[in-house]
């Protein structure tokens, strides 16, 4: 907000991703628009009865509507929004498909905004339950969630940016790199000129690196990034000790 952005955060889980399991959350409202109050009401017993598949109004509809209102409210101002859907695909790999039409309609309806934005379509972890999670690829998926990135249309012919994204998509990335990328975007587009994506701009106060730019040279593994061992997906040799 201090940099001139209107900000929004919306979730549809009452406990919240910044509270679960032992996080402190926020003492003060962190964004211009914060869905926390409505987020808790959504999970009241009465509202759980009113909504649901039978009534064709599910939790993802709430936050999509909230997001739409936010986008409409500030048509000509820079915006940063975090919309976090916690239920649609959390317990089953099959559940998200019935909402494809809802998200397709949302993206088509907001094509002009999206063509002028960085869009991150991502998860925070893979499927932790069911048969898939018991397979070797499922175990990797748990700590290697999907992330797709759409860049503003005017940057889609930027050779350095596109090359960096393609190259870095094959490298080990962490939540620290995602955070650094968000910081890079918020700071690099304050002026009219597009940034030079061929240059790395390291920040000592950040643990990660923006993947819009060339990543620093050197090994990228769980030790150097750093990624806690319990979330590491690197295959290492193991020896059973009697």
What integer pLDDT is reported at residue 193 of this predicted model? 74
pTM: 0.88
Least confident of 32-46, 77-91, 156-170, 195-209: 32-46
How confident is residue 191, by pLDDT bands cut at 50, 70 and 90?
low
Q: Which residues pair with 80 in a beta bridge?
A: 7
223: CB partners within 8 A, 6+ apart: none
Mean per-residue pLDDT over the chain, rounded:
88
What integer pLDDT is reported at residue 49 of this predicted model? 57
CB 160 within 8 A of CB 199: no
43: CB partners within 8 A, 6+ apart: 13, 14
Q: What is the mean pLDDT of residues 71-84?
A: 94
The answer, yes or no, to whether residue 130 has pLDDT greater than 90, is no
Strands 147-150, 119-122: parallel, antiparallel or unpaired by DSSP? antiparallel
């Amino acid at each position: 907000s201090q940099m001139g952005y209107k900000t929004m955060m919306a979730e549809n889980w009452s406990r919240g991703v910044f509270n679960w399991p032992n996080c402190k959350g926020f003492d003060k409202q962190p964004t211009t628009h914060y869905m926390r109050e409505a987020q808790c009401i959504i999970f009241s017993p009465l509202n759980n009865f009113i909504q649901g598949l039978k009534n064709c109004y599910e939790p993802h509809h709430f936050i999509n509507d909230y997001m739409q209102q936010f986008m409409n409210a500030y048509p000509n101002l820079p915006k940063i929004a975090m919309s976090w859907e916690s239920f649609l695909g959390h317990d089953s790999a099959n559940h998200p498909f019935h909402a494809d039409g809802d998200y397709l309609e949302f993206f088509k309806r907001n094509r002009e905004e999206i063509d002028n934005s960085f869009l991150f379509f991502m998860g925070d972890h893979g499927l932790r339950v069911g048969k898939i999670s018991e397979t070797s690829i499922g175990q990797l998926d748990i700590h290697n969630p999907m992330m797709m990135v759409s860049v503003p249309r005017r940057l889609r012919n930027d050779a350095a940016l596109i090359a960096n994204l393609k190259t870095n998509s094959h490298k080990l990335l962490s939540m620290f790199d995602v955070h650094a990328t968000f910081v890079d975007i918020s700071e690099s587009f304050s002026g009219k000129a597009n940034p030079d994506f061929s240059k790395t701009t390291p920040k000592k106060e950040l643990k990660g690196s923006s993947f819009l730019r060339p990543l620093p040279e050197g090994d990228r593994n769980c030790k150097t990034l750093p990624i806690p061992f319990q979330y590491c997906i690197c295959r290492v040799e193991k020896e059973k000790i009697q």
